[in-house]
Amino acid sequence: MTASTGFEILAICTGNICRSPAMDLLLAHDLAGADGRFAVSSAGTHAMTGWPVNPPMDELLEAHGVDVGGFAARQAAAELLTGAGLILTATREHRAWVTDHAPSTVRRAFTLTEFADAVRAADPSTLTPAGLVEWAAAHRPPAGVVSRSRSTRRGYAEGDVLDPYGLGDAAYEAAFAQIAAATEVIAAALLATKG
């Protein structure tokens, strides 16, 4: 984190054209009134570098009042990961990829839904943004609980944001709804932090 960019938040999915752009752009939109306290961006574990937000995710974002112009997918790199104060991933598999490529991020990397669930129980008004991340890490379910989570279709764990890429509009709408609900909770918690 630097004074010029604010507390850095990085969203991660696979191609960086559907889920992580939605996480990035919705969260940035919800945090827009925070006077530069937060800087949100995204990247992919296997990015389709240079691509824009994939349709119909771009249309869903624009209908929500989010500008997708100028977005270009990029590859996650170790320096990008280590520079983030909070990393939000679409799935547990992405979180494992992040911590494998940048082990120092283990207490700052969460799935989107995991972090949203954790901050619901926090009192962010007593914490800085970094303190909220530390609090969430301390209140994360034990590893055994996570590994026993119920699997859903296509091998995703419960709480993961399913990849809508190549699927119909309904899959994009479901992923968007799941992301929007979580980013709203996370933005409210971050805005309530001190600093």
Residues that are catalytic: 13, 19, 123
Backbone φ, ψ for residue 97 (5° rounding): -60, -45
Question: Do 90 and 162 contact (CB within 8 A), yes or no?
Answer: no
Contacts of 41 (CB under 8 A, 6+ apart): 8, 9, 10, 11, 24
User: 81-109 in b/e burial notation, b at 16+ Cβ within 10 A?
Assistant: beebbbbbbbbbbbbebbbeebeebeebb
* The pair of three-digit structure tokens given for residue 86, joined into one six-digit string: 């909070």
* The pair of three-digit structure tokens given for residue 135, joined into one six-digit string: 């609090």
